């Protein structure tokens, strides 16, 4: 790449962003002509921070009087986060209306007939939905900081301020990108508003989590939250841009749930070319695994990474050596396991059902988080194994022996099952991020879901049943044999 090409990059970006910014500019001007947007934004920018200032001052007076300074110390930064968040909630309303509102007012078609590219239209709307509420949010933070400094003389640590600003920005982008996806795929504002619960509920939970962190005052944890939000935002924007196109905007109806069609697509993908169950096992399961070779490799690597994460945590949260006295494993070990239904058929059922619950949870969470949370949940057991192996090593015992005795007998079946589920969860998330050729998003997702179901029923469930049987009947015996005195 020569110097001239490098010089040309910003100009090219500027040129291709110009149409998107024309859309943004118009929309923002239009928003400022609507009192229904101006009023809440102004109230949340000016009045609400003042109210929070008042609350902070009252709290400080109260705790000074009765002696609980920690309450004020934690409350003031928390309110800083709250004044930043409230104005961006307006962005959700604007974003939900961005495409579907124009569709309802029939003003979308002249836009679609213009030479704009799909992504330019999408980005223009995305920025327009975000810019005014975000500006209001920053303004609210400034008003709050001035007020709180004037009233109680508090100033935030620069790093905390940076975290709150980034957190606010990420939340705005996260909500808006989600809402724009909904807006582009629905055919009425009402439907978009109803579907907004898919954004409101996770964001409400997120805010509660952030509130706990703020009161807990572990501000460094907020970096992880910011990182996580950034990841999901990138995926949402990627998904939105990838699936946005003019034709779908005019024709696609996310608000019409066609169960019959969905069942037909799922059934044909699930059965495939098989004529009987043996065919199905021989052809379909093998083909599905072949299709998933990339996710299978990724998840295998992530499982190894899980073990590594576990080992790193052992250095921070080290177990006391007496807990890890494996030399006396035979004393009471078997009796203890018998008490929790090991060495019985009901014990096998218990372990199997427990693992099934974990897999069901991983799939459910994976569906809503582009696969991220689903795979993270599956990494957890491996992280726990890594954690114990490192702790065992810390007290001078062999981690390999520990792994061979307590994990390997049933792990041979259980870990591959987890990798297979993880790969199908990743695929479920992946089809939302990138369009599949000759398939709509719905079709591609149903195909991925059929693949997931095939693998769970055909491989994962049997593998986990074998693993549970070995874990309940065999592993403890091997553990005693190898580790006992």
Partner 1 sequence: MNVISTQDLSKQFDQFWAVDGVDLDVNPGQVLALLGPNGAGKTTTVRMLTSVLKPTRGTAMIAGYDVVSHPAQVRASVGVLTEQHGLYNRMPADEYLDFFGKLYGLDPHRRITRINDLLENFGLHKDRRKRLGEYSKGMRQKLALARALIHEPPVLLLDEPTSAMDPESARLVRELIQGLRSESRAFIICTHNLAEAEELADQIAIIRHGKIIARGSPSGLKQTLLGSAEYEVRLASALDGKALRLPQGAALSSTDAHMIRYRTEHPDQVNPVILGYLLEEGLKVISLQEVPRSLEQVYLSAINTWREKESQNGC
Quick note: the x/- pattern for partner 1 over 15-44, rule CB under 8 A, is ----x--xx--x--xx--xx----------
> Half-sphere exposure of 334 toward its Cβ, with a 13 Å CA cutoff?
12
253 scored as a contact of partner 1 (CB under 8 A)? no
Is the CB of 33 or the CB of 65 nearer to partner 1? 33
Are 246 and 118 a contacting pair, CB within 8 Å?
yes
Least CB distance to partner 1 at residue 193 (A): 21
108 scored as a contact of partner 1 (CB under 8 A)? yes
Are 40 and 90 a contacting pair, CB within 8 Å?
yes
Q: What are phi and psi of 394, to 5 degrees?
A: -60, -35
Least CB distance to partner 1 at residue 30 (A): 6
DSSP 417-470: HHHHHHHHHHHHHHHHHSPPTTS-HHHHHHHHHHHHHHHIIIIIHHHHHHHHHH
242 scored as a contact of partner 1 (CB under 8 A)? no
Is the CB of 43 or the CB of 112 nearer to partner 1? 112
247 scored as a contact of partner 1 (CB under 8 A)? yes
Quick note: the x/- pattern for partner 1 over 189-228, rule CB under 8 A, is ----------------------------------------
CA 279 to CA 271: how far, in whole Å? Answer: 10
DSSP 213-259: HHHHT-TTHHHHHHHHHHHHHHHHHHHHHHH--HHHHHH--TTS--H
Least CB distance to partner 1 at residue 262 (A): 14
Applying CB under 8 A, among 9, 117, 194, 318 the residue interacting with partner 1 is 117
Number of residues that bind partner 1 (CB under 8 A): 25
Distance of CA 277 to the CA centre of its chain: 36
For residue 362, give Cα distances in angstroms to 80, 81, 268, 383. Answer: 34, 31, 25, 16
158 scored as a contact of partner 1 (CB under 8 A)? no
Least CB distance to partner 1 at residue 230 (A): 31
110 scored as a contact of partner 1 (CB under 8 A)? yes
114 scored as a contact of partner 1 (CB under 8 A)? yes
65 scored as a contact of partner 1 (CB under 8 A)? no
Q: Site residues (CB under 8 A) for partner 1?
A: 19, 22-23, 26, 29-30, 33-34, 105-117, 246-247, 250-251
């Amino acid at each position: 790449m020569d110097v001239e090409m490098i010089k040309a990059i910003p100009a090219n970006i500027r040129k291709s962003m110009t149409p998107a910014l024309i859309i943004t500019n118009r929309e923002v001007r239009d928003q400022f002509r609507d009192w229904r947007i101006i009023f809440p934004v102004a109230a949340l920018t000016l009045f609400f921070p003042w109210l929070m200032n008042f609350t902070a001052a009252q709290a400080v007076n109260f705790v000074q009087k009765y002696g609980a300074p920690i309450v004020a110390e934690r409350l003031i930064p928390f309110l800083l986060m709250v004044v930043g968040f409230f104005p961006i909630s307006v962005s959700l309303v604007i974003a939900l209306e961005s495409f579907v509102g124009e569709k309802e007012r029939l003003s979308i078609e002249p836009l679609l007939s213009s030479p704009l590219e799909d992504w330019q239209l999408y980005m223009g709307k995305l920025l327009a939905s975000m810019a005014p509420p975000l500006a209001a949010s920053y303004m609210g933070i400034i008003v709050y900081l001035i007020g709180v400094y004037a009233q109680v003389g508090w100033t935030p640590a620069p790093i905390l301020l940076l975290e709150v600003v980034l957190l606010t920005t990420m939340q705005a982008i996260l909500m808006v990108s989600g809402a724009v996806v909904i807006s582009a795929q629905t055919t009425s504002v009402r439907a978009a508003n109803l579907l907004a619960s898919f954004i409101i509920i996770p964001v409400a939970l997120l805010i509660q989590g952030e509130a706990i962190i703020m009161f807990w005052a572990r501000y460094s944890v907020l970096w992880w939250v910011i990182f996580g939000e950034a990841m999901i935002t990138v995926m949402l924007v990627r998904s939105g841009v990838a699936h946005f196109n003019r034709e779908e905007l005019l024709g696609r109806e996310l608000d019409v749930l066609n169960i019959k069609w969905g069942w037909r697509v799922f059934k044909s993908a699930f059965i495939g070319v098989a004529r009987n169950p043996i065919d199905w096992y021989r052809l379909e399961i093998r083909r599905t695994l072949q299709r998933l070779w990339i996710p299978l490799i990724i998840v295998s690597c992530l499982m190894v990474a899980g073990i590594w994460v576990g080992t790193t945590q052992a250095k921070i949260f080290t177990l006391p050596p007496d807990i890890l006295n494996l030399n006396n494993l035979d004393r009471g070990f078997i009796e203890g396991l018998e008490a929790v239904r090991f060495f019985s058929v009901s014990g096998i059922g218990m372990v199997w059902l427990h693992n099934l619950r974990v897999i069901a949870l991983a799939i459910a969470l994976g569906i809503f988080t582009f696969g991220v949370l689903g795979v993270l949940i599956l990494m957890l057991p491996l992280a726990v194994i890594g954690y114990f192996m490192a702790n065992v090593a810390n007290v001078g015992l062999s981690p390999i022996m520990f792994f061979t005795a307590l994990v390997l007998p049933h792990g041979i079946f259980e870990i591959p099952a987890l990798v297979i589920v993880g790969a199908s969860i990743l695929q479920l998330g992946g089809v939302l991020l990138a369009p599949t050729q000759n398939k709509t998003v719905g079709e591609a997702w149903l195909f991925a879901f059929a693949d997931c179901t095939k693998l769970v029923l055909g491989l994962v469930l049997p593998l986990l049943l074998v693993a549970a049987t070995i874990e309940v009947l065999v592993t403890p015996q091997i553990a005693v044999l190898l580790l006992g005195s």
